[in-house]
Amino acid sequence: MSYQSEELIKAVHAQREKADMSQRALAVRAGLTQAHISQIETGRLEPGLSSFIQMARALDLEVVLVPKKLLPAVEGILRSNATEFSPDKGSSDLFAKAERIVSSQRKRYGSSAALDRIAECFRFLKQINLPKTDLALVADIVETLRHYRVEPIPKAVLDNSAGVLQGLRNRIAHPVEAPRPAYALDDEDDDA
């Protein structure tokens, strides 16, 4: 097995173990046999590209080609996100609590435009692996709404919560890109 593929296989193997997934479970998800995965992981078999991609995707990984000069930036982003993002378990519990609060308010006091916006934002945000700072913002809003268990949530609180959640949703859905120059003088551009 070549050195390059050995490193890739080690990364996939580490991800499988991190996900606490057996070779058999990975085989089922990837559409391969357990013996095939075992041979790949032990280095007895060089994986074909399609088998490797199937294994990676079954582990929620994606194989991507990155321009060589952008590789340090991509690696930096991956390193920073590994520690910045929260585990899924905590966020799913938080959003379950949020949805219970919204549902309870709707049953007791009816719906409103602000409550509907809050519910829509929660549905969107629960699908995102939020950074801890954004998750803390959502947790603060959930805690604020939770204080109104036996009474209707005041309109001002609903409007403020809906506005904050919608701002967070918009920032995630429509990230602002840094301005780019209209032209660049780059030694590597031969197109000019």
DSSP code of residue 46: P
Q: What is the pLDDT of residue 190?
A: 54
Structure tokens given for 169: 């949703």
Q: What is the pLDDT of residues 116-153, one digit of tens each?
A: 999 999 988 887 888 889 999 999 999 999 998 788 99
Burial 62-86 (b: 16+ CB within 10 A, else e): eeeeeeeeeeeeeeeeeeeeeeebb
Convert the pLDDT of each residue in 43-89 to its tens digit.
Answer: 899 988 999 999 999 998 888 888 888 888 777 777 666 544 444 56
Query: 3-63 — its CATH code?
Result: 1.10.260.40
Task: Report residue 67 as tokens.
Answer: 């321009």
Domain ranges within the chain, ordered by starting residue: 3-63, 88-173
Compute the 3-state secondary structure of the chain and give helix, strand, coil in percent, each to the nearest 5. 65, 0, 30
